[in-house]
Chains A and B, each alone.
Chain A
Amino acid sequence: EIVLTQSPATLSLSPGERATLSCRASQSVSRSLAWYQQKPGQAPRLLIYDASNRATGIPARFSGSGSGTDFTLTISSLEPEDFAVYYCQQRNYWLFGGGTKVEI
């Protein structure tokens, strides 16, 4: 079973700053990785699929990179609405990482 480890668990930043979130797989998943955003009381929202493809309607400040075992979600300049929990997910039995909370 492939395990996804997200770091850091919590990221404390201010609006306008750059956020860099990491997701590491226990073995290679090629580029089969997605990122989601979840705000309190809401369902997750797909941001990125196939490591670097933005989903429909996702702002350009969100970008994904990586392949194999190491992946990164970057938010180039945090907007107030970006403070949320972010999850990565891989396609092998659709397992999720534990999440990174981006807080003000």
Chain B
Amino acid sequence: QVQLVESGGGVVQPGRSLRLSCAVSGFTFSNSAMNWVRQAPGKGLEWVGVISDDGSNKYYADSVKGRFTISRDNSKNTLHLQMNSLTTEDTALYYCARDLGGYAFDYWGQGTLVTVSS
């Protein structure tokens, strides 16, 4: 069955960096665009960014542009989110999600929690 498993979350100080990963199984990862979505505690969903199936195209929300970088390793069925210059505003549960051909996000992981605090 389809599984998306995020990892790499934790507590980090403001200004520091963190790298999240999303291990995928159950579908052809190399044929799918992938997204990161986050949710601050008690708040709604915020799209973070997307990477195309071959990694050649990436788009980001304005709130993370220039600080976050999405990458993927199709040989390892793994998605990454490199987060630099973290602020307390980045505290959230981070989900990876598969892009349903540009229509919506059909598969989601369970999320990994990032807490930015001094």
- A residues sitting closer than 8 Å to B (CB atoms) are 32, 34, 36, 38, 42-46, 49-50, 55-56, 87, 89, 91, 93-99
Complex CA–CA separation, A96 to B97 (angstroms) = 14
Shortest beta-carbon distance, B107 to chain A, in Å? 8
For chain B, the bracket of interface size reads 20 to 34
Q: What residues of chain B lie closer than 8 Å to A98, measured between beta carbons?
A: 44
Contact call B103/A34, Cβ cutoff below 8 A = yes
Interface of A is mostly: loop
User: Do residues B44 and A91 form an inter-chain contact, with CB atoms below 8 A?
Assistant: no
Which of B47, B105, B108 contacts A93 (CB under 8 A)?
B47
B47 touches A34 (CB 8 A): no
| A87 and B45 form a contact (CB under 8 A) | yes
- B46 lies within 8 A of A43 (CB): no
| Contact residue among B44, B95, B102, B105 (Cβ-Cβ distance under 8 Å from A99) | B44
Contact present for B35 and A43 (CB under 8 Å): no
Q: A43-B95, A43-B110 are in contact. Are A55 and B47 (CB under 8 A)?
A: no
**Contact indicator A96/B100 (Cβ below 8 Å):** no
- Chain B residues near A97: list those with CB within 8 A: 44
Given known pairs A93-B47, A96-B44, the reply for A50 and B110 (CB within 8 Å) is no
Q: When the two chains form their complex, are residues A46 and B95 in contact, meaning their CB atoms are under 8 A apart?
A: no
